[in-house]
Structure 1
């Protein structure tokens, strides 16, 4: 299926697997790439050395293009950008807007820059700075999310910029791809749907916990890290919602210490990242400290399988998912269904 996204990234199908922390590793990314989609490694939960090893492993599993998701406010963001350039990774994606000089450095080296945005003004800003495309994420999406539904946010962003726009939030099958293309998008991006595939390294028991959920079983909470976060509704989330501010900050400090030990970051490095996060996102110090909750709570659920102690980020689409296909089965099924729908409605887009 030929779209602006497939031509830009050199992939066969306009389907993107998002860079989910603790989930989007070499096995999942390579399987997505081999199936013709664009897989994106999640580097925010990796050290620099782990990212370098993950890129090498992914390249050993596939010769197809793939991407790496970066934190623009990470203290070693410059080093990671140089690694991506040196390893000739095809795409650099960002959850937060990268600085103009980051975009320029990547583009000068031939790397595509595709930030995620949650508002038309954000899309206009990164487009003006030279971004090659944007992923626009509606409120149905899992993880950090906004309040505007994809069906409204997508056309607003399409009207605001003239670069390819990839739709995210609420997509899980070929009907969604057909609808996104009809809006004018260049493709779709999915997280929860790829989390629930055979190549996903999430423990089987956790996958089943996702499959058991319905359309109303996610909740948007600010008690994980101070920002709106869509997750599965669990007893852990209920406890966070009931906990007072002091208890929440104490938990965050403890998790910051655990994350420092896990990643090898020094306290000065973590403080530097906190300062960058505070400036870049207009957060209070309490919110910055709370942000330390996110990596460890997600790791407990998605890596350790502790559904009783971890947070499980999830899009609302989880309520419509009932199976665990391979990435090849998933992408082929989505593209075939979308092509059949578009053909029935009057022809594939040119």
Structure 2
């Protein structure tokens, strides 16, 4: 297949970076692929606003993903992306779907294989894996990734321990030799953060929780209210969901998971496993295989393996069903400082405008050094 030509920057972009040139969006902002949140409505609104919207596919069957991609394409002609699980049993089929449907960007929560990267690049799809360490960025760069998204510990969901302010410049420095753009994530929610990311040397900033708290987000209003009411101290990191560090809002379910004994945890995991089996149509064998893949080499109990495969149901309970008592709510630390629900267009416009104004102001403060005597 002949690769599609690289898009050029659209006119009137106040902030042009290597990311906008690579992807063909107006603004160096990315809406991350949040499960149950980043659906066609939010992604298409983000694309129309000039940023890069990423469709979350991990909670979709293959036919559902095809329908979602086509719905986004029916709503906008702007570029968008799809987030994939590289360790999914049908990853190759999903890659083929993206290629066939002409999706511009493939993002990955885990490092994709060299073969998957090559297949996507041969078809002209931009590959942007997410990483949480310098060595992971170096690995995917060697394998041919077009850019990397690096998330610091402030980010929601599965997260690491290194703050964005430390990790991001490290990855930027490491990627200079590879000459690929770096996108910063974790702790960004406004133009100050975007300007900071650019000053660190990144080509853009990615935001999850901030896009979750917009009018186009399909998260139930009661759940959005729970986020808006949260203080920074109401956001915690727990390993009791699937054995890995998860940043989320404190909730009844988090408290129950943290206080449950092994038998109760196993019974809860089995209930969620049965619910996800019904929803997804997966076999028990496939669910256990995915659960083992999600362990990332950790020695987890059977209960944790089942929860790793079925954490999506805990998220769905809150993000789709509105059950804050029965679900979990992934949240970046910025949830504690967000207090409004703008439209996506308003959010993108004000973020870019503020960042551009700050960068102009900083530039005006810098004067050339006096000539040497």
1:114/1:132 contact within 8 Å kept: yes
> What residue number does 2:7 align with?
none
2:291/2:309 contact within 8 Å kept: no
The SS at the match of 1:216 is helix
Pairwise mapping of residues 330-349 of structure 1 onto structure 2 (< 5 A)?
A: 330-346=347-363
Pairwise mapping of residues 74-153 of structure 1 onto structure 2 (< 5 A)?
A: 74-153=88-167
Runs of 4+ in structure 1 displaced over 6 angstroms? none
Q: Which is worse superposed, 227-236 or 7-16?
A: 227-236
Q: Is 1:283 paired with 2:298?
A: yes
Q: Is 1:38 paired with 2:46?
A: no
Q: Is 1:302 paired with 2:316?
A: no
Q: Structure 1: where are the runs of 5+ without partners?
A: none
1:68/1:89 contact within 8 Å kept: yes
Report the alpha carbon displacement of residue 252 of structure 1 after superposing the two structures with TM.
1.2
1:18/1:24 contact within 8 Å kept: yes
Determine the C-alpha separation between the residues in 1 that align with 2:96 and 2:288. 23
The SS at the match of 1:292 is helix
Determine the C-alpha separation between the residues in 1 that align with 2:224 and 2:150. 26
1:258/1:296 contact within 8 Å kept: yes
Q: 2:69 aligns with which of 37, 50, 55?
A: 55
Determine the C-alpha separation between the residues in 2 that align with 1:56 and 1:263. 20
Determine the C-alpha separation between the residues in 2 that align with 1:186 and 1:248. 43
TM-score normalized with structure 1 length: 0.97
> What residue number does 2:253 align with?
236
1:255/1:292 contact within 8 Å kept: no
2:36/2:316 contact within 8 Å kept: yes
Per-residue Cα deviation, 1:295-322 (whole angstroms, up to 9, x for no partner): 1110000000001111010000011101
Determine the C-alpha separation between the residues in 1 that align with 2:147 and 2:274. 37
> What residue number does 1:227 align with?
244
Report the alpha carbon displacement of residue 245 of structure 1 after superposing the two structures with TM.
2.3
> What residue number does 1:29 align with?
43
Root-mean-square deviation (CA, aligned residues, Å) is: 1.1
Determine the C-alpha separation between the residues in 2 that align with 1:74 and 1:284. 20
Report the alpha carbon displacement of residue 69 of structure 1 after superposing the two structures with TM.
0.2
Q: Structure 2: where are the runs of 5+ without partners?
A: 1-14, 365-373
Determine the C-alpha separation between the residues in 1 that align with 2:334 and 2:202. 19
TM-score normalized with structure 2 length: 0.91
Q: How many residues align?
A: 345
The SS at the match of 1:55 is helix
Determine the C-alpha separation between the residues in 1 that align with 2:35 and 2:287. 18
> What residue number does 2:228 align with?
211
Determine the C-alpha separation between the residues in 2 that align with 1:283 and 1:90. 34
> What residue number does 1:254 align with?
271
The SS at the match of 1:230 is strand
Report the alpha carbon displacement of residue 332 of structure 1 after superposing the two structures with TM.
0.3
For the pair shown, which has the larger CA radius of gyration, 1 or 2? Answer: 2
Report the alpha carbon displacement of residue 155 of structure 1 after superposing the two structures with TM.
0.8
Report the alpha carbon displacement of residue 42 of structure 1 after superposing the two structures with TM.
0.2
